[in-house]
Chain A
Amino acid sequence: MRRVARAWVLAVAAAAAAGTAVAQSKGAATAAAPSAQTVKIAYLDPLSGPFAAVGQNILKHFQVAAEIVTARQLAGAGIKFEIVPFDSKGSPQEALTLLRAIADQGIHYVAQGQGSHVAIPLSEAIARNNERSPRQSIVLLNYAAIDPDLTNSKCNFWHFSFDANTEMKMEALTDYMRGRTEIKNVYLLNQNYSHGQQTARFAKELLARKRPDVKIVGEDLVPLGQVRDFSPYIAKIRASGADTVITGNWGTDLQLFVRAARDAGLTANIYTYYAGVVGTPTAMGAAGADRVRQVSYWHPNIENNPAEPIYVDFKKRFNEEWTVLASYNSLAILAEAIRRAGSAEPLKVAHTMSGMKMNGLMGEIEMRATDHQLQQPLYISTFTKAGGLVKYDAEKTGFGFRTEKVIPTYVASTPTSCNMQRPAKP
Chain B
Amino acid sequence: MNLELFLVQLLNGVSYGLLLFMLAAGLTLIFSMMGVLNFAHTSFYMVGAYLAYQLSVWIGFWPALVLAPLLVGVLGALVEQWGLRRVHKWGHVPELLFTFGLSYIVFELVQVTWGRAPVPYEVPSGLDGPVGWLQAAGITFPLYRLFMMGVAVLMLGALWLLLRRTRIGLVIQAALTHPEMVEALGHNVPRVFMLVFGAGCALAGLAGVIGGNAFVTEPGMAGAVGAIVFVVIVFGGLGSLTGAFIASLLLGLVDAFGKTSSGSLAGLLTQAGFELTPQTFGYQVLAMTVAQVAPVLPYLLLVLILILRPRGLMGTREN
Contact = CB atoms under 8 A, between A and B. Distances in A.
B140 interface: yes
B118 A259 contact: no
Contact of B292 (A221, A232, A282, A397): A221
A405 B249 CA distance: 47
Given A235-B8, A238-B8, 19 more contacts: A50-B223, A53-B219, A57-B117, A222-B295, A228-B215, A229-B215, A236-B259, A239-B5, A252-B224, A255-B218, A259-B216, A263-B144, A264-B140, A264-B142, A279-B116, A279-B218, A282-B119, A395-B117, A397-B120
Contacts of A50: 219-220, 223
B215 A265 contact: no
Interface residues of A, number: 37
B141 A264 contact: yes
B116 A229 contact: no
A29 to B, nearest CB: 41
A44 interface: no
A252 B116 contact: no
B169 interface: no
Q: Give the top 6 A-B pairs by smallest Cβ distance, nearest first.
A: A53-B116, A279-B117, A263-B142, A50-B220, A232-B259, A232-B256
Interface stretch (B9-17, B189-197, B272-280): B9-17
Contacts of A397: 120
Given A221-B292, A263-B145, A285-B122, A228 B224 contact: yes
Interface of A: 50, 52-53, 56-57, 192, 220-223, 225-229, 231-233, 235-236, 238-239, 252, 255-256, 259, 263-265, 278-279, 282-283, 285-286, 395, 397
A56 B260 CA distance: 36
B218 A235 contact: no
B123 A236 contact: no
B207 to A, nearest CB: 12
Contacts of B118: 53, 252, 255, 279, 282-283
Interface string B110-125: 0100011111101100
A235 to B, nearest CB: 4
A238 B139 CA distance: 11
Interface string B230-268: 000000000000000000000000011101100000000
Nearest to B224: A228
Nearest to B295: A223
Q: Binding site of A, secondary structure by majority: helix, strand, loop or mixed?
A: helix
A231 B8 CA distance: 9
Nearest to B116: A53
Contacts of B129: 265
Contact of B12 (A56, A231, A256): A231
Contact of B260 (A52, A57, A226, A232): A232
A53 B117 contact: yes
B130 interface: yes
B2 interface: yes
A223 B158 CA distance: 36
Contacts of A222: 295
Contacts of A283: 118, 120, 216, 218
Given A239-B2, A264-B142, A226 B117 contact: no
Contact of B117 (A235, A239, A282): A282
Contacts of B119: 282
A235 B215 contact: no
B174 interface: no
Interface in B136-182: 140-142, 144-145
Given A226-B295, A259-B216, A238 B117 contact: no
B4 interface: yes
28 contacts: A50-B223, A52-B219, A53-B219, A192-B292, A221-B292, A222-B295, A223-B295, A225-B224, A229-B16, A229-B215, A229-B256, A231-B16, A231-B256, A232-B9, A232-B12, A232-B259, A232-B260, A233-B260, A235-B256, A239-B2, A255-B216, A255-B218, A263-B123, A263-B144, A264-B142, A283-B218, A285-B120, A395-B117
Contacts of B257: 232
B225 interface: yes
B9 A238 contact: no
Most A C-beta atoms less than 10 A away, residue of B228, B259, B295? B259
A244 B148 CA distance: 29
Contacts of B223: 50
Nearest to B259: A232
B291 interface: yes
Contacts of A285: 120, 122
A252 B216 contact: yes
Contacts of A265: 129-130, 140, 142
Contact of A235 (B5, B220, B224): B5
A231 B12 CA distance: 7
A256 B216 contact: yes
Nearest to A254: B216
Nearest to A258: B216
A225 B215 CA distance: 13
A422 B214 CA distance: 53
A222 B215 CA distance: 16
A232 B140 contact: no
Contacts of B9: 232, 235
